[in-house]
Structure 1
Amino acid sequence: MIAAVTDHLGLIYLVCEWIIRLAMLAVVPRRRNSPSARSWLLFIFFLPIPGVLIYAAIGRPAFAQWRAERFRRLAPFFADTNARMRPAGLRIPNAQNRKAVDLADSVGGFPAIGGNAIELMDGYDQTIDRLVADIDAARFSVRLLVYIFADDATGMKVIDALARAVARGVKCHVLLDPVGSHRWRRGTVSRLRSAGVEVREALPYRLLHRRTRGDMRNHRKLFVIDGAIGYAGSQNIVAKDFRPGVTNQELVVRVVGPVVAAMTAVFVADWFLETETMLCNAVDVPAPAGAVVAQILPSGANYALEGFATLLVWLIHTAQHSVVVTTPYLIPEEELMGAMRTAVLRGVRVSIIVSAVADQRLVRLAQESYYEDLLAAGVSIYLFENYLLHAKNVSIDGRLSIIGSSNVDLRSFQLNEEVSLLIPDEATTMMLDATQDRAITGSRQLLLEDWKRRSRPRRFAENLARLLSPLL
């Protein structure tokens, strides 16, 4: 009798597994791109019940309906900001740059605007000191949106500056990601609130809470002071060596001028999404402070297209001479791989600068699984040594720059909220090119013949990680 019941339950379990397998063959491809769909289906075919439960939790890269509706309510605010920013007779001499800013406008919703002064900063501690100085000079508002905010010695410099600003009557708001900041979250939030700073968690995550997801994060680094000075780039508010044995090197752009209005709008929108409170109903556009054209490109699940990925693929397809991509994490989609291969065949010099120092072993293995294909296609790969090169930037033909928070991987393309600054300006791109040249000088070029000599166990580990890469 017991054996018969056991056999019956076993049959039911087996039937359920096959029902799940067959049903997910129809469900998964409709909601994911091809690499992600293959990985999810492989996972579900091997472990049907755990796989479908995990897929139900994090399988679809979309926010809950309530959040999507809240984002739609921001449409009039964005439209008003764009109307205030959209310049009459903006002149962008290069035809390809004009097309690039039009595409960025279409996918990100903000226009390019001139009159900006741009400064690139790659000194980690100097960037923190400059931010502190700007906060100390603030008269009206300080708004910080950051993935990692620690209450270590570096973070305390910023927290103390915010406390001084609050004491002067400056309104200070901070959005931090609770997953990125998890090691310091309680201490940082407590210290900020004690200082009188309004602080909220971006995309707060609580286990089994229907309104949140742990894998979709706000990865933006965006600092705005008085609505007139903006910072964008890769740097968090934490000590540069917060990981044992790893020291970060970053790149941040400090901008003064009208494009800061779009930075303000991004922060105000993110604050509204978390609180349903509008910090302002209209964004003032700062007066011109220079001659550089710049454009903010936000991306994330709220947007119909993968904005940064869409723009990057198009830029590589239209490049004429050179493409240089700096990223700590490289897990390219098929479209991006194809764009790089085609560019090389057209005679374009395509270079990728990645870090020889690894802070995430599984991601590094997945990344390395693409190296042989890229090298065989003629792409140059440079391994930056001694530091974790955490900077994220792109240079196209010496005429256009992108500096921001987005990595060149599936997580940044599909899951994370990111923000980039697009700069269709030769002088600024020349400065970025010089920064990238210094990084190449501090790198070891990876050669195809050398890479082919890696061990078979290493290749196996890479291939396994690559299968999992769409799930990372």
Structure 2
Amino acid sequence: MQFSVLYLFAEWIVRILVIPVIAYRYRPPSALAWIAVISFQPMIGLALYIIFGENRLPRRRIAEHARRRRALQLDMWPMLQKYCVDPQSGIDGQSKHQLSVQLGEMPAVANNDFQLIDDTSEAIDRIIQDINEAKVCVHLLFYIWRDDEIGRRVTDAIIEAEKRGVECRVLVDAVGSRRFLKSRAKDLQAAGVEMFPILPVNLFRRRFHRIDMRNHRKLVVIDGKIAYTGSQNIVNPDYGTKKLIWHDLMMRLQGPIVMQLQAVFLTDWYAETNAELEKAECFPTPEAAGEETLQLFPSGPTYHTMNLHRLIVAMLYQARKKVTITTPYFIPDESLLQAIEVARLRGVQIILVLPEKSDQILVSAAQRSFYGQLLEMDVEIYLFTKGLLHSKTLTIDKTFALVGTSNMDIRSFALNLEMNLILFDEETIQKISDQQQKYLESAYPIHLNHWGNRGFFKTFGEAIARLMAPLL
């Protein structure tokens, strides 16, 4: 009896002390979600809050990231200056570019070559081929790296490059690639490859505040002249489950844009190692490689605002005719929902292409809870049936497109380090639109009358999951 009284007293102490802190530190949706968890189960809620509650990196790390970004921008500027452009004419076009530069801190650059690769095997083959031809340095940064067939092939190619005298450096997320770090990582290090985990987890002496705040970027830079980014990890396409084949999208890039991707790698490298790499080696003089104008847009908790979220919401308010989005995870907050609603009220066609089946049960349930609301706005929702659609794309009016690593959820906007390419040229954007059309051809639409007639238990479970949406 005495223990029960003490436990009850402790629960109320947790509620009284923690709930005001949450209300002060969080925006209302997230605050209400945390308050609900802690009110229902104070001790469990407190433990979860201690582990997952902080949504910012330490101030010192944020300041150091900002300093490194500014320093690298100054280093690149003399070589990039002649390629920097205002990508679109008119007040609206210049306004879009000014916003993306202010939020992402990188300008649009011209004369790039852009190749889209939608097949996992082809993407890995191209990456390995370029590694095999590397002369100076190879840099790789990935969220997931597995010791499977694809992982071993890329690992072997890096080891062989190191043996030829190429400087090879690898960053992998400490959580997403934890199994690889325990297995093949030692082989890379034994061969002389410099390899480090990103944001290593230590529950007792954490280097950051939230253990699910991850580096979700995918990046390859070879000799400072060729780069890859997109949604593809170093993993077999049946990763996680043999029942779902992942469909990814990668980009092979040449031209001045490669310097921006290299700058992201160098910034993340310095954050983990405190080592500055040789600039002459990393930044060879850029050369014109094509006709495309591109801009890299890094995002994440090292920036003072949810900069990618701000950009997408602003672009939706400027949309005039059509918006198409493909993403594996779609959990919008209120401001994103309002931007979608306002766009629909102005007559903008909005198409969402999402996977029919997902690898994340709770996230998928929360995502489905928004379908009815979106369908009532006359948003067109299509469910992809040929596997897990992992490609992350956004096109607006043939004047603006995003392709990269970021999902359309709070985790990608607020917690993960991400990177996306902004496309401005109509012909280049059309390549993304054509790829989106391929996905649409393997998807079926859902309709409001059918969706609203599903069983009580399905809708009830999704409603419960939606309460956790601000935390997902």
Pick the TM interval, shorter chain.
over 0.9
Select between 107-116 and 321-330 the one with higher mean Cα deviation.
Answer: 107-116
Determine the structure 2 residue equivalent to 1:275.
273
Query: Is it true that 1:232 corresponds to 2:226 in the alignment?
Result: no
- Following superposition, the deviation at residue 207 of structure 1 comes to 2.8
User: Which of 218, 221, 242 is the aligned partner of 2:218?
Assistant: 221
Give the counterpart of 1:245 among 230, 243, 247.
243
Question: What does 1:73-472 align with in structure 2 at a 5 Å threshold?
Answer: 73-81=67-75, 83-84=77-78, 85-87=80-82, 90-95=85-90, 96-212=92-208, 213-243=210-240, 244-281=242-279, 283-472=283-472
Percent identity over the alignment? 38
Residues of 2 paired with 1:19 and 1:423: CA distance?
52
CA distance in 1, matches of 2:204, 2:465: 28
In the TM superposition, what whole-angstrom CA distance separates every residue of 1:304-363 from its partner, at most 9, and x where no partner exists?
111211111111110011100110001111111111111011010000110112111111
TM-fit CA distance, 1:419 = 0.5
SS of structure 2 residue aligned to 1:117? strand
Normalising by the residue count of structure 2, what TM-score does the alignment of the two structures yield?
Answer: 0.94
Q: CA RMSD in A?
A: 1.8
- The one-letter code sitting in structure 1 at the alignment partner of 2:235 is V
**Mapped partners of 1:28, 1:284: distance in 2:** 48
Residue 104 of structure 2 contacts residue 299 of structure 2 at CA under 8 Å; is this kept in 1? Answer: yes
Distance 2:328 2:453 in 1: 24
Matched, 1:40 2:34: yes
Instruction: Give the CA deviation at 1:82.
Output: 5.5
Q: Which runs of 4+ in 1 moved over 6 A?
A: none
Shift of 1:63: 1.2
- The answer to whether the 8 Å contact 1:217/1:417 transfers is yes
Report the alpha carbon displacement of residue 285 of structure 1 after superposing the two structures with TM.
4.8
Per the TM alignment, residue 131 of structure 1 is displaced from its structure 2 partner at its CA by: 0.5
Q: Cα 1:233–1:171, aligned 2, differ >3 Å: closer, same or farther?
A: same
State the alpha-carbon separation in 1 of the partners of residues 69 and 203 from structure 2.
Answer: 31
**Partners in 1 of 2:333 and 2:6 — Cα distance?**
39
User: What number of residue pairs does the alignment pair up?
Assistant: 466
CA contact (8 A) 1:177 1:201 kept: yes
Kindly indicate whether the alpha-carbon contact (under 8 Å) linking 2:84 and 2:109 is maintained by their aligned counterparts in 1: no
Please say if residues 86 and 108 of structure 2, whose CA atoms lie closer than 8 Å, have aligned partners that are also in contact: no
Does the residue aligned with 1:204 lie in a helix, a strand or coil?
coil
Aligned to 1:18: 12
User: Amino acid of the residue matched to residue 470 of structure 1?
Assistant: P
Q: Is the 8 A contact 1:261 1:285 kept in 2?
A: no
Residue 50 (structure 1) aligned with residue 44 (structure 2): yes
Q: For each residue in 1:18-64, what CA deviation from the matched residue of structure 2 results, as whole angstroms up to 9, or x when unmatched? A: 34323434321332232211110111111223323332332121112
> How far off is 1:200 after superposition?
0.6
- Residue 137 of structure 1 aligns with an amino acid whose one-letter code is E
What is the SS of the residue equivalent to 1:183? helix
Structure 2 Cα separation of the partners of residues 150 and 104 of structure 1: 34
User: Distance in 1 between the 2:357 and 2:213 partners?
Assistant: 25
Which string of whole-angstrom CA distances, capped at 9 and with x for unpartnered residues, describes residues 258-279 of structure 1? 0111100000000000010011
* 8 Å Cα contact 2:225-2:284 kept in structure 1: no
The residue identity in structure 2 corresponding to 1:347 is G
Deviation at 1:222, TM superposition (A): 1.1
Distance 1:392 1:193 in 2: 32
C-alpha contact 1:101 1:295 (8 A) present in aligned 2: no
**Quick one: which of 24, 31, 47 aligns to 1:30?**
24
**What is the identity, as a one-letter code, of the residue corresponding to 2:396?**
I
| Residues 365-374 or 199-208, more deviating | 199-208
SS at structure 2 position matched to 1:297: strand
Alpha-carbon distance in 1 for matches of 2:370, 2:31: 19
1:161-188 Cα deviation digits (max 9, x unpaired): 1122112211111100121112333123
Any idea what SS the aligned residue of 2:305 has?
coil
Contact 1:97 1:424 survives alignment (8 Å): no
Q: Deviation of residue 10 (structure 1)?
A: 5.3
**Cα separation, 2, equivalents of 1:89 and 1:20:** 54
Instruction: In structure 1, give the amino acid aligned to 2:150.
Output: T
Change beyond 3 A, Cα 1:12–1:186? closer
Unaligned runs of 5+ in 1: none
Q: Contact 2:232 / 2:249 at 8 angstroms: preserved in 1? A: yes
The worse-fitting range, judged by mean Cα deviation, of 335-344 and 69-78 is 69-78
d(CA) in 2 for partners of 1:432, 1:384: 17
Shift of 1:241: 0.8
With the length of structure 1 as denominator, give the TM-score of the two structures: 0.94
